[in-house]
Structure 1
Amino acid sequence: MNLKSLFLVFTTLLSLSLALVLNPKITSPTAESKWRAGDQRTITWDTENVVGGPIPADYTGVIKLGYLDPKDSPNEHLYWELASGFPLNKGSQSVTLPQDLETRRTYIIVLMGNSGNASPEFTITAAR
């Protein structure tokens, strides 16, 4: 193999590794989850069965809270950042929900690393 061919193979492999897209499935919250504004909760995701995995140790994540509005589909209304900079391969992150959330049944959690994936819609009720 000549130097030019070796360089081509190397750059192709490097490009493929940089194009790695990970989509760990969120396992909590679920569609049955009912949370309350202001509460501390733990977001969890599957680190074992990840398309594109395993998750490299140096990948960090961001967790956003949003909601879906049938009148404004497909906008995810991701107004609240709940956590950032945590290791994506950890599989969980504790967060505190904002105190001033309205009651909705269409909240979603979006886990972002090098790709974003959303939980099923779930309920958060307003603080008491």
Structure 2
Amino acid sequence: VYAPPISYPTAGTTWQVGGSYNITWDASNPPKQITNPIGHIDLLKNNVIITGAPLANGFSILDGTHEITVPLTVEPGSGYTVVLFGDSGDISPEFTI
């Protein structure tokens, strides 16, 4: 199982609604066989996935980065995280929008 650790956003990061940001993760040293190399990123608030479309999907988890735009429908506040799915899932530290 390949669950690359997310390196950005970090704890204390602040994003703006409507802003564009590069989510990054450590894609070095992947295993030889990855069950699902296609990535999917969701936004969570207080460990609950925000309904609607994911922040991103259809990219290679071996890329190590993917640009997203914070939806205009997101309520500003703290307790946000992103989760990167592919072969497995990894979650970022909490940050603020």
SS of residue paired to 1:90 = coil
Structure with the bigger RCO (C-alpha within 8 Å, sep 6+) is 2
The structure carrying a bigger helix percent of its residues is: 1
What TM-score do you get using the length of structure 1 for normalisation? 0.67
Query: Among 6, 14, 26, which residue is 1:46 paired with?
Result: 26
Corresponding position of 1:24: 4
Deviations 1:75-128, CA, capped at 9 Å, x for gaps: 52342501111011000000111012112210000000021111001000xxxx
Unaligned runs of at least 5 residues, structure 2: none
Sequence identity, in percent?
39
Aligned residues: 95
Asked if the contact 1:59/1:113 (under 8 Å) is kept, the reply is yes
The one-letter amino acid of 1:76's match is V
Corresponding position of 1:35: 15
- In angstroms, what is the RMSD of aligned CA positions? 1.8
Matched, 1:107 2:80: yes
Task: Find the aligned partners of 1:49 and 1:120 in 2 and give their Cα distance.
Answer: 22
What TM-score do you get using the length of structure 2 for normalisation? 0.87
Unaligned runs of at least 5 residues, structure 1: 1-20, 69-74
Deviation for aligned residue 1:54: 5.7
SS of residue paired to 2:87 = coil
Task: Find the aligned partners of 2:42 and 2:78 in 1 and give their Cα distance.
Answer: 16
Query: Among 71, 85, 97, which residue is 2:70 paired with?
Result: 97
Matched, 1:61 2:39: yes
Larger Rg: 1
Query: Among 64, 76, 97, which residue is 2:48 paired with?
Result: 76
4+ runs deviating over 2 angstroms: 53-56, 75-80
